[in-house]
Amino acid sequence: MTPAWTIYAWPPVKWQADSTPDLHFVHLGTRVLNPGDEDGPSTGQTLWGGPLSEGAAGVAWDWVQLEQGIVAMADPLGLITNLQLLGAGGEKLTGMEVALRLNEIVHTLPWQSEVQRALDRAA
């Protein structure tokens, strides 16, 4: 899998924030960084992306297994992306506005099932 942090090296892609429902990201990979034990839960990263007319866009985040079969975003404000989301007037959105929009995208993705597959493979 491509490490999630490599998104920082992807060329930036400007995108109208109101058009985020038009983004159709696919699963690019999930890594289990810590398989978990009695001292701590399983953790990892997942990466999603897709082509746009302006170039490839992606978003990645860390996840944590809360209990068997239940995973959550480790930090909903700690998403990594190369998207530069713009407001209606073409202005860049603030960090908080971007985080909110990215979380809207994440919640449309079947990422928990991909994380569970990665955990099953690691077991």
Give the residue extent of every domain in the chain: 4-122
Q: What is the pTM of this model?
A: 0.90
Spell out the residues 6+ positions from residue 10 whose beta carbon is closer than 8 angstroms to its own: 55, 56, 57, 58, 82
Per-residue pLDDT of the chain (123 residues; tens, 9 = 90+): 667 778 888 999 999 998 877 888 999 999 999 988 888 899 999 999 999 888 899 999 999 999 999 999 999 999 999 999 999 999 999 999 999 999 999 999 999 999 999 999 988
- Which architecture characterizes domain 4-122 according to CATH? Roll (3.10)
Place of tokens 């239940």: 70
CA distance 81 to 77: 12
